[in-house]
Structure formats: structure tokens, C-alpha cells
């Protein structure tokens, strides 16, 4: 297999037309903005999934994403591209990568990362090639790691040396699933993590164990295999995708997305998960010492997050605010899928917490506040409503309660707190246009006298940060534009709202031209 792939690497197809031509020839255009986000990153048209290449370059934030510009469904992957000076106000840039070489043309430019070196922006990504299925004993794909370079942060050229990393000939490393490189600089040397799994004769790979492998380099071009840094045990999935490693508050935090984790009660209910592990990376041996993993987000829609270091040193994470194996109602409007708000990561008391990036406060407008509201029936408060806004509230936990968001007619998305169990839930059975995954998601909180909730509402999403980052829950919603109500509902006694503030939020993401 190695000889065959090495030969293929020498055959480079002619470069296609410039990447910005992808926009001009794109037949897809947004036809309705009813669900198009005001401040979340989304495709200008067409499809988007996993975050890619999140980095800083020449004092700006560059963010890329898996993108198919020709339809509102997944297709051969391109890289969409946006840039920002503040993580909140974004500008669309031309498509950064197209699948146009033999090592990526048949399957696409899969996920990867970005890094600045010698005044240039380097993108390291997975080239995916689909192969004819010969038998279950042979790989049905080649996934290799490749490099594209830009001197202006807009136009990228794939280097002649591609592919720069193949799956090593190792008895414990699959030759088929080998993707999503995350690259960083540590003590003068470059390191790359690649998502992988153990080999198996099962064509789907579901009998395997997920793992992450490490490579090292002096120049981003010539790479040496270092080690398998960590591998799944028990119910930890058959494939580990989209790895990230970040040193946060003197702790090495490994973030990745395991496939195939089975539900454990009311946990791990999504088709795929995104998790973190706290530990210590030994750069000499290439081994990551760690404990068990924990969810990054307890909602319906969160996958493939990517982290970067902010210009002031904070660790910032953005994830895909969607989930595979689902329906995307917005695809009838000429676009599909969006990203989460940027989240700052901290390690506190041996736990990773997620906070909304402070830059989001720059979107705030039209503040409305109330204090010490004690209610005994379903209540709405004047000017506490909207489709695009930020709701912050602190509520006594003596009694159970519901908060209904995007409410109107029969529509509502319900957030509930149970005072007896300390369980907080989302229910989206009545959240609007059809979403296959209904029901609820939940998280058990530490006992406390009060709960602090910070909701970010956009036209088709809600994210809630609980108790200063103790837990986060994200969900898509597709209500009517007129469903903007916010209701506070006591359950089993009075509801003591100690304080509540609502801001309307301005636009941070360029709005599409409607056809």
C-alpha cells in the first residue's frame, strides 16, 4: 500500500482556476434570511461543517471551515474563509482551498489547522482520496496530510512536496482513517496531532479503538512519526477526529471528537461527541498522561471544535453548531450550518470551563434590566424578548422552574431546572421547523443556592453558559420569525429571579444578498 500511495504523490494535476472563481460560479444563493445568523459564522451560501485553520496571522484572526459552495449538502470539501480583528465582526474572504490535486481531488480538502511561519500563513490539511473497494482487507481511501502557503493570508498555493505526511507503517495505526492535523510550535520545534484509529478488518472501522498520533518537524515540510499519544479504552469510540492540544493554566488539555461512543444513561446521546481530557504531554516520549474524558458541550449541536491562542494569550475555541445524521431546515434557503460563538477556555479546580469571549460584549445594544422579581405563575417581562439577543439571569434554586425562549403560539424552546436533582435540561420538541433529533439533553450541576444563566440567541440557535462556565449547552432551533417571546415559568413554588438583563445584539457577521 505504501508503494502505491508514494507513486500517487508524484502525480500532480494542473491547478484549477483561482479560488475566488468558486464564488462567481456558485449556483447557490441565499433566498431567505429568516434563520441566517446575525453574529455566528456561516457560509455565504452552500454548505459548511467543521472549523479549520483557526489561527492568528499578522494581528488578525483567520477562521476557515469545511465548505461545499455548490449545494446545501456535503460535497467534495473546500475551505471557506473569514477574517476578523476582534473575534466578533467577521469579513468573508475568497475560498482558500479547492480539491484540485490528485491527493485531494476525488474526496476533498478535509480538516486541518493554520500557523504563521516566517511571515507566511501555512495551512496543513487532510487530502482525502476515495479508492475502489477491492475487499475488506484493503483500505477504501487514502488520507494524507498536505500543506498550502500564503504570503497575503488570502491566496494559497499547495506545495510541490505534498503529501508531507502519510499514515506510518505501524501495526497499531489504520491506513484508512488518518486525518485532521493540528499543528503548533513548542520549544522551537513543530508538532502535529492527527486523528486515527487502530486497524480492523471491519470496513466501517467500528471494531477499532480511536487514537491520536503525533509527528514532529523543524520546517513544517519534513515530518517524523513520534508516537501514539493516547488511545481509547472501553466506551471511548472507534475513531478520534479533530484533535487539539492546548496548554491552559499550566495544564495540557487534549480536545477531540470521538465517533462511536455509546450512550450512558442520558449522557452521550448525540450521534458523535466532542470531549476534553486534562493531562500532561511528554514531548520527549510522545506520550500524553491523562484521566478520563468529559463532554465539552451538553446540548444537541456541537462538534469538531478547534482552538487557537488569542492575541492576548487566552485560549479561544469555536465549534460546529450542528450535528451529523440530522436534517438542516435552512438548506431550503440556500445555506446550511453555522459555528458557535467564540468561547474562552480556562482550567479551574481540575475542570475545563467555557466562557463567552469577552469581545461578544461589543455587540450589546438596548439594555433592559429587572431585579428581585418573585413570581408564582408564567410571566413575561416588558422588553425581555427577541430573536437576536443576550439574556443573563440569576435565579434562586429553592424551587424548580422553566424558561421558554423563542416562544410564540405553539412554539417554544424550554430550558428547565429541577431543584431536587440539580439537573438542567433543554427540550426542543416545539422549537419550530422539523429537526429529527427531538427530546431533551441534560447536565447535572453541583448543588448551589442559585444558578446563573447566560443565553446567546440568534435566529436559528441558542447557546447557554451555566454558572460561569460550569457547563454549556448548544442547540439549533427553527421557529417562526414572530416567535420572540421569553417566559419565566415557576414549577412547584415561587420563582425568585434575583436579576435579569436582556440586550439586543448587533450584527457581527456579513448578511447575504438575498436572491
Q: Which residues fall within 8 angstroms of residue 196, CB to CB, at 6 or more apart?
A: 167, 173, 174, 177, 178, 210, 211, 212, 213, 228, 239, 240
Residue 480 in contact with residue 55, Cβ under 8 Å? Answer: no
Q: What letter would DSSP give residue 449?
A: S
Task: Find the catalytic residue in 20, 50, 100, 301.
Answer: 50
Alpha carbon distance 170, 429 (integer Å): 47
Alpha carbon distance 271, 261 (integer Å): 8
Strands (E), 272-399: 275-282, 287-290, 294-295, 303-309, 315-320, 335-336, 343-348, 351-356, 364-375, 389-396
- Tell whether the torsion through CA atoms of 163, 73, 441 and 471 is positive or negative: positive
Would you call 412 helix, strand, or coil by DSSP?
Answer: strand
Would you call 8 helix, strand, or coil by DSSP?
Answer: helix
For residue 128, CA distances in Å to 48, 136, 155, 199, 241 come to 17, 19, 21, 18, 14
Task: State yes or no: is 130 an active-site residue.
Answer: no
Q: Which of 228, 7, 15, 214 is nearest to 101 (CA)?
A: 15
For residue 370, CA distances in Å to 64, 219, 374, 388 come to 40, 57, 11, 19
Q: Which of 430, 414, 512 is nearest to 478 (CA)?
A: 430
Alpha carbon distance 373, 376 (integer Å): 10
Q: What letter would DSSP give residue 340?
A: P
For residue 31, CA distances in Å to 35, 224, 333, 338, 433 come to 11, 48, 5, 17, 17
Alpha carbon distance 322, 339 (integer Å): 8
Residue 465 in contact with residue 354, Cβ under 8 Å? Answer: yes
| Residues with catalytic roles | 50
Amino acid at each position: 500500500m505504501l508503494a502505491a500511495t508514494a507513486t500517487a504523490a508524484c502525480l500532480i494535476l494542473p491547478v484549477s482556476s483561482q479560488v475566488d472563481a468558486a464564488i462567481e460560479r456558485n449556483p447557490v444563493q441565499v433566498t431567505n434570511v429568516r434563520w441566517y445568523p446575525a453574529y455566528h459564522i456561516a457560509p455565504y451560501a452552500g454548505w459548511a461543517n467543521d472549523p479549520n485553520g483557526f489561527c492568528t496571522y499578522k494581528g488578525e484572526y483567520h477562521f476557515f471551515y469545511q465548505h461545499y459552495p455548490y449545494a446545501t449538502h456535503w460535497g467534495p470539501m473546500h475551505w471557506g474563509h473569514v477574517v476578523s480583528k476582534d473575534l466578533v465582526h467577521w469579513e468573508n474572504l475568497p475560498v482558500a482551498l479547492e480539491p484540485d490535486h490528485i491527493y485531494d481531488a476525488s474526496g476533498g480538502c478535509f480538516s486541518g489547522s493554520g500557523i504563521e511561519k516566517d511571515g507566511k500563513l501555512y495551512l496543513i490539511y487532510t487530502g482525502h482520496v476515495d479508492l475502489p473497494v477491492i475487499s475488506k482487507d484493503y483500505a477504501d481511501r487514502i488520507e494524507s496530510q498536505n500543506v498550502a502557503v500564503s504570503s497575503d493570508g488570502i491566496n494559497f498555493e499547495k506545495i510541490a512536496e505534498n503529501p508531507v505526511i502519510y499514515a506510518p507503517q505501524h501495526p497499531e495505526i489504520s491506513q484508512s482513517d488518518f486525518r485532521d492535523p493540528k499543528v503548533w510550535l513548542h520549544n522551537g520545534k513543530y508538532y502535529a496531532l492527527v486523528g486515527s484509529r487502530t486497524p480492523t478488518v471491519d470496513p466501517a472501522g467500528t471494531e477499532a479503538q480511536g487514537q491520536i498520533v503525533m509527528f514532529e518537524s523543524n520546517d513544517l515540510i519534513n515530518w517524523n512519526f513520534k508516537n501514539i499519544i493516547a488511545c481509547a479504552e472501553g466506551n471511548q469510540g472507534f475513531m478520534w477526529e479533530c484533535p487539539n492540544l492546548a496548554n491552559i493554566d499550566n495544564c495540557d488539555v487534549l480536545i477531540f471528537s470521538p465517533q462511536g461512543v455509546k450512550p450512558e444513561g442520558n449522557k452521550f446521546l448525540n450521534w458523535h461527541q466532542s470531549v476534553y481530557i486534562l493531562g500532561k504531554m511528554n514531548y520527549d516520549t510522545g506520550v500524553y498522561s491523562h484521566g478520563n474524558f468529559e463532554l465539552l458541550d451538553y446540548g444537541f449541536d456541537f462538534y469538531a471544535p478547534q482552538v487557537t491562542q488569542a492575541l492576548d494569550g487566552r485560549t479561544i475555541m469555536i465549534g460546529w453548531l450542528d450535528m451529523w445524521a440530522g436534517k438542516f431546515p435552512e438548506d431550503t434557503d440556500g445555506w446550511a450550518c453555522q459555528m458557535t460563538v467564540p468561547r474562552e477556555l480556562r482550567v479551574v479546580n481540575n475542570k475545563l470551563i467555557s466562557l463567552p469571549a469577552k469581545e461578544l460584549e461589543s455587540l450589546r445594544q438596548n439594555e433592559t434590566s429587572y431585579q428581585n422579581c418573585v413570581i408564582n405563575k408564567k410571566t413575561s417581562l416588558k422588553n425581555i424578548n427577541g430573536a437576536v439577543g443576550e439574556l443573563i439571569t440569576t435565579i434562586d434554586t429553592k424551587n424548580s422552574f422553566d424558561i421558554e425562549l423563542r416562544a410564540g403560539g405553539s412554539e417554544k424552546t424550554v430550558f428547565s431546572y429541577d431543584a431536587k436533582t440539580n439537573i438542567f435540561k433543554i427540550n426542543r420538541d416545539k422549537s419550530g421547523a422539523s429537526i429529527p433529533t427531538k427530546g431533551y439533553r441534560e447536565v447535572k450541576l453541583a448543588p448551589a443556592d442559585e444558578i446563573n444563566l447566560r443565553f446567546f440567541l440568534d435566529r436559528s440557535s441558542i447557546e447557554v453558559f451555566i454558572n460561569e462556565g460550569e457547563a454549556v449547552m448548544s442547540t439549533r432551533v427553527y421557529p417562526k420569525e414572530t416567535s420572540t417571546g421569553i417566559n419565566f415559568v415557576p414549577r412547584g413554588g415561587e420563582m425568585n429571579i434575583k436579576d435579569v438583563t436582556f440586550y439586543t445584539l448587533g450584527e457581527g457577521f456579513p448578511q447575504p444578498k438575498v436572491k
